[in-house]
């Protein structure tokens, strides 16, 4: 069928999202109409599309690399973990249901028509569709009903390049072992391999490349060295979130167990005037922090309990007594209030619990999810604000009469003294707002965030062009199976 290519990986976090983003930019710069696609993603870091759907953040970044707006067809199935064993299922941008892992195994075959429908729509509008796999095709225990890796590649007849991660060690075993366990029909879909995240002199691995080729007969598409600027792009996996910076303004973000939309803080990481500390479970909030941010979460009530288990509620009280500020975003905003009620049991059993009591507001969880891109103004500075909402629940109360923002000519959020909160994600992407926000703490902004991301994407494309056989990948996509 041609005009598509799939990058699968020997495991999670081998760099598939980064590889696809870089290839999207490289091929787009050649004048090709490129579209990214991931049949199934699992992430609580979601992006809101212009038409009010949600997709994985990685696909939104890949769309940016292509120079196009993200759409729900780029990630037709998104799983958002709510507990250790259950996830919310988003299909073509909208919530379908919440299921346990075992239930999803039975559900996923029925999702293939929607996956193929979205893929065909993208193909109709593209010269090449670059597809990203999920996890590893070598997890053959998950092969039945698969829509994320070989199940999709077979149904859509898309050739596959398998990427291994040399940084974690054992890359020969990763690739040759995948070849060994795959059934013949799936193995035939893989037309080549590449090695990612190499450190040092790549020629030292020449013998390893020959061994992989000899044992698999797959074409070698190259060895990509470690891309040092990768941490400047939005991360999709919470495991990749790290502290950053060494500036005088100390900002701490609480690493909730179901932290969501954590790319909210990426622009702050790049500011030379900021030290951003991601406070992990078991760690206290640093005493020299000027601002503590309680981020979004996929499970507000559950993560409020997690916050208290860490003793962070006590730390927050001490932080405020020292004159520190607190900001809550989305679920973090809900936690700041007096009560959180879930009468319909959306997050578990029906319940009503006390919040942190730092704002005089009350939240009631409702089934309807707010999914919308927004624009507005910061009343304090008069600067423009852009962002998006992606939440359930409505928050009202006395402190809402002192809104943090004005969004679409309506008050948004609440403030009281040193504590503020709102539902708007992506606030700090807006350069004017971020500069005004930092200025309230006596810190300066010196970053143009959108330009920074564009530069890194260009550098990533240059990196892959230098080390990988990009021309060979284009030829394979056009040839098909």
Whether residues 461 and 417 fall in one domain: no
Is pTM beyond 0.75? Reply is yes
Q: Is residue 244 part of a domain?
A: no
Whether residues 406 and 310 fall in one domain: yes
Burial 257-276 (b: 16+ CB within 10 A, else e): bbbbbbbbbbbbbbbebbbb
Query: Residue 180 — pLDDT band, cuts 50, 70, 90?
Result: very high
> Residue 239 has what pLDDT?
59
Q: Is 37 exposed, middle or buried (CB count within 10 Å of its CB: 0-12, 13-18, 19+)?
A: buried
Query: Count of CB atoms within 10 A of residue 475's CB?
Result: 11
Q: Is residue 237 part of a domain?
A: no
Whether residues 368 and 392 fall in one domain: yes
DSSP code for 356: -
Cβ contacts of 304-309, under 8 Å, gap ≥ 24: 304/335, 304/340, 304/353, 304/355, 304/356, 306/256, 306/257, 306/281, 307/254, 307/256, 307/335
Mean pLDDT of the chain: 95
pLDDT digits 0-9 by tens, 104-143: 989 999 999 999 999 999 999 999 999 999 999 999 999 9
Q: What are the distances in angstroms from CA 177 to CA 144, 180, 215, 222?
A: 20, 5, 10, 19
State yes or no: pLDDT of 11 exceeds 70.
yes
Query: Residue 385 — pLDDT band, cuts 50, 70, 90?
Result: very high
The arithmetic mean of pLDDT across residues 315-326, rounded, is 98
Q: Is residue 240 part of a domain?
A: no
Q: Is residue 423 part of a domain?
A: yes
Q: What are the distances in angstroms from CA 481 to CA 153, 217, 478?
A: 10, 16, 9
Whether residues 222 and 276 fall in one domain: no
The arithmetic mean of pLDDT across residues 402-428, rounded, is 97
Q: Is residue 262 part of a domain?
A: yes
CATH number for 216? 3.40.50.300
Q: Is residue 241 part of a domain?
A: no
State yes or no: pLDDT of 341 exceeds 90.
yes
Whether residues 25 and 88 fall in one domain: yes
Residue 275, classed as helix, strand or coil, is strand
**Of 86-90, 240-244, 256-260, 328-332, which range is least confident?**
240-244
In the set 71, 330, 400, 422, the catalytic residue is 330
CATH number for 339? 3.40.50.880
Q: Please give the backbone phi and psi of residue 463, each rounded to the nearest 5 degrees, phi first.
A: -60, -50
Whether residues 275 and 370 fall in one domain: yes
Whether residues 428 and 469 fall in one domain: no
Whether residues 297 and 205 fall in one domain: no
Whether residues 288 and 333 fall in one domain: yes
Identify the CA nearest to 63 among candidates 87, 35, 39: 35
> Residue 86 has what pLDDT?
77
Whether residues 279 and 352 fall in one domain: yes
Q: Is residue 174 part of a domain?
A: yes
Q: Is 33 exposed, middle or buried (CB count within 10 Å of its CB: 0-12, 13-18, 19+)?
A: middle
Q: How far is 97 from 104, CA to CA, in rounded Å? A: 10
State yes or no: pLDDT of 85 exceeds 80.
no
> Residue 84 has what pLDDT?
65
> Residue 238 has what pLDDT?
59
Quote the number of domains for the chain.
Answer: 2
Whether residues 46 and 177 fall in one domain: yes
**CB contact at 8 A, 169 and 11:** no
pLDDT digits 0-9 by tens, 182-207: 999 999 999 999 999 999 998 899 99
Identify the CA nearest to 242 among candidates 225, 229, 255: 255
Q: How far is 34 from 478, CA to CA, in rounded Å? A: 13
**CB contact at 8 A, 246 and 275:** yes
Q: Note if 425 is an active site residue.
A: yes
In the set 325, 391, 425, 463, the catalytic residue is 425
Percentage of the chain with pLDDT > 90?
Answer: 88
Percentage of the chain with pLDDT > 70?
Answer: 98
Residues 6+ apart with CB under 8 A from 368: 392
The residue ranges of DSSP E strands in 50-140, in sequence order, are 54-56, 77-81, 86-91, 94-100, 128-132
State yes or no: pLDDT of 347 exceeds 90.
no
Q: Note if 179 is an active site residue.
A: no
Residues 6+ apart with CB under 8 A from 268: 245, 251, 274, 276, 428, 434
Tokens of 382: 């008069």
> Residue 1 has what pLDDT?
47
Range of the domain at 34: 4-231+455-476
Tokens of 58: 């990685």
Q: Is residue 265 part of a domain?
A: yes
Query: Residue 92 — pLDDT band, cuts 50, 70, 90?
Result: very high
Whether residues 435 and 331 fall in one domain: yes
Tokens of 39: 């049949």
């Amino acid at each position: 069928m041609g005009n598509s290519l799939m990058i699968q990986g020997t495991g999670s976090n081998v760099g598939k999202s980064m590889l696809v983003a870089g290839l999207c930019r490289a091929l787009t710069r050649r004048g090709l109409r490129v579209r990214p696609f991931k049949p199934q993603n699992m992430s609580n870091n979601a992006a809101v599309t212009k038409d009010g759907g949600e997709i994985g953040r990685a696909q939104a970044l890949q769309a940016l690399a292509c120079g196009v707006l993200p759409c729900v067809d780029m990630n037709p199935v998104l799983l958002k973990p709510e507990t250790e064993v259950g996830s919310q299922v988003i299909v073509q941008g909208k919530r379908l249901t919440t299921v346990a892992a075992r239930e999803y195994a039975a559900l996923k075959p029925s999702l293939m028509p929607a996956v193929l429908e979205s893929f065909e729509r993208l193909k109709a509008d593209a010269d090449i569709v670059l597809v990203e796999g999920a996890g590893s095709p070598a997890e053959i225990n998950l092969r039945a009903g698969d829509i994320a890796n070989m199940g999709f590649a077979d149904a859509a007849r898309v050739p596959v390049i398998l990427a291994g991660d040399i940084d974690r060690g054992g890359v020969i075993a990763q690739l040759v072992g995948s070849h060994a366990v795959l059934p013949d029909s799936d193995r035939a879909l893989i037309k080549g391999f590449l090695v990612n995240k190499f450190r040092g002199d790549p020629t030292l691995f020449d013998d390893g490349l020959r061994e992989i080729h000899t044992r698999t007969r797959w074409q070698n598409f190259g060895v990509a060295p470690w891309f040092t600027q990768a941490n400047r792009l939005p991360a999709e996996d919470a495991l990749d979130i790290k502290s950053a910076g060494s500036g005088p303004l100390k900002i701490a973000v609480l690493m909730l167990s179901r932290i969501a939309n954590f790319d909210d803080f990426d622009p702050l990481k790049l500011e030379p005037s900021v030290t951003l500390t991601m406070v992990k479970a078991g760690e206290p909030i640093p005493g020299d922090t000027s601002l503590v941010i309680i981020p979004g979460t996929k499970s507000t009530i559950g993560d409020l309990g997690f916050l208290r288990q860490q003793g962070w509620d006590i730390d927050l009280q001490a932080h405020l007594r020292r004159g520190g500020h607190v900001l809550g975003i989305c679920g973090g905003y809900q936690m700041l209030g007096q009560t959180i009620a879930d009468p319909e049991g959306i997050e578990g059993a029906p319940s009503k619990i006390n919040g942190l009591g730092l704002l005089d507001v009350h939240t009631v969880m409702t089934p309807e999810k707010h999914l919308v891109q927004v624009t507005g103004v910061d009343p304090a500075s008069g600067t423009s604000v852009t962002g998006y909402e992606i939440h359930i629940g409505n928050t009202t109360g006395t402190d809402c009469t002192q809104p943090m923002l004005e969004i679409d000519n309506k008050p948004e959020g609440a403030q009281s003294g040193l504590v503020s909160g709102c539902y708007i994600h992506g606030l700090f992407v807006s350069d004017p707002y971020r500069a005004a926000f930092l200025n309230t703490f006596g810190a300066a902004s010196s970053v143009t965030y959108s330009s920074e991301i564009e530069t890194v994407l260009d550098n990533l494309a240059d990196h892959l062009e230098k080390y990988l056989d990009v021309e060979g990948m284009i030829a394979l996509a056009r040839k098909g199976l």
